[in-house]
């Protein structure tokens, strides 16, 4: 399953937003939590290797979907305890401080 990724630059911050491609355009809700996988994630389709390469340059990451979150975990950017599950879909973030 491909990963869709978009990179944002604001001052000294670099944010990588990435999601499983098949989740784009969908909204997930569970209790008080809601995540919309919309334009924020609508970037280019990338391989896991390219995705991880961008993460190494990022100061902030925002990830949705099993493939994307698993790739971020394998690269050491997300841990099991850092995953929020919303309607069965994993969501994770990281911030470099």
Mean pLDDT of 54-69: 96
Q: What is the average per-residue pLDDT within 55-60? A: 95
Largest Cα span, the chain? 35
Quick check: 18 and 86 in contact, CB under 8 A? Answer: no
What pLDDT score was predicted for residue 96?
A: 87
Whole-Å CA distances, 38 to 2, 5, 19, 56, 57: 16, 12, 10, 24, 23
Q: Which domain holds residue 46?
A: 3-95
Task: Please list, residue by residue across 15-31, b when 16 or more beta carbons sit within 10 angstroms of its beta carbon and e when fewer do.
Answer: bbbbbbbebeebebeee
Question: What's the whole-number mean pLDDT along residues 29-53?
Answer: 95
CATH code at position 67 = 3.30.1860.10
The distance of Cα 75 from the centroid of its chain, to the nearest Å, equals 13
Place of tokens 């099993």: 66
DSSP state of 24: T
pLDDT at residue 1 tops 80: no
pLDDT digits (tens, 9 = 90+) for 66-97: 999 999 999 999 998 999 999 999 999 999 87
Count how many domains the chain has: 1
């Amino acid at each position: 399953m491909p990963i869709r990724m978009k990179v944002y630059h604001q001052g000294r911050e670099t944010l990588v937003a990435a999601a499983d491609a098949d989740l784009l355009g969908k909204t997930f809700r569970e209790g008080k939590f809601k995540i919309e996988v919309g334009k924020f994630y609508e970037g280019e389709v990338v391989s896991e290797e390219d995705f991880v390469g961008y993460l190494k340059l990022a100061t902030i990451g925002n990830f949705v979907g099993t493939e994307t979150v698993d790739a971020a975990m394998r690269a050491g950017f997300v841990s099991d305890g850092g995953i929020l599950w919303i309607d069965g879909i994993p969501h994770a973030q990281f911030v470099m401080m």
